[in-house]
Amino acid sequence: MSDPSSSRRGAFIVFEGLDRCGKSTQVARLVDRLERESQKARLQKFPDRTTAIGKMIDAYLQSKAEMDDHAIHLLFSANRWECAAAIKRDLDRGITVIADRYAFSGIAFSAAKGLPFDFCLQPDRALPLPDLTLYMSLPQEEATQRSQFGEERYETVTMQQATRKQFRLVAEEVKKIHGGKKWMEVDARGTIEEVEERLKGLIGDLTDGVNGRVGELWV
């Protein structure tokens, strides 16, 4: 008899949040844990600063280059599109893909600068749909106190507050279009281990595999 689990694909899990919310630490710990448990998993960081487009984004974020807000928005999206086929391929091969940021940051940060919400959403339409997005929520005062806050372009309190508001709208949009189970907010206060436990509870057995095809974002 064939094993029904063999037809399962990998889960696409996205971590989102404002700068210094502890996202990258948790993503790294999750990938480490899955590797220790001999599960197939890989990390996908956005922006992916290693590609040609990613290098332009990196220069912009470090304020070494200036760019029109629309143009940089489209570059961030292009950076996701250039990774989309590899994400789909890996999911189909049964590999869990854990993304540190995704299209939701794209909308929240660009809309916070004043670009229309709908313009921000469009370029990412039909990208692979995450099975779960974990939004790590941390009060601004705590994020500001964390080390390295303020190093890059968007790391000002005003920008982070505006982005926080946009993330709320993004959450509503995800729930409206893709249902309430695709987006979960996680309290990012407390120790690394406490937050890790909360995340573990929400991820549950998703990393064992998912049935069905990969969906399309905003479709």
Name the residues that contact ligand DGP, by CB under 6 A.
19, 46-47, 61, 73, 76, 101, 105-106, 109-110, 152, 154
The span from the CA of 185 to the CA of 138, in Å, is: 10
CB of 14 to ligand DGP, least distance (A): 12
Query: 70 with 115: CB under 8 angstroms?
Result: yes
CB of 101 to ligand DGP, least distance (A): 5
Query: 19 with 149: CB under 8 angstroms?
Result: yes
CB of 17 to ligand DGP, least distance (A): 9
Query: 124 with 213: CB under 8 angstroms?
Result: no
By beta-carbon proximity to ligand DGP, the closer residue of 108 and 210 is 108
Pairing of strands 96-100, 12-17: parallel
Query: 174 with 104: CB under 8 angstroms?
Result: yes
By beta-carbon proximity to ligand DGP, the closer residue of 93 and 192 is 192
By beta-carbon proximity to ligand DGP, the closer residue of 167 and 207 is 167
CB of 124 to ligand DGP, least distance (A): 8
By beta-carbon proximity to ligand DGP, the closer residue of 5 and 25 is 25
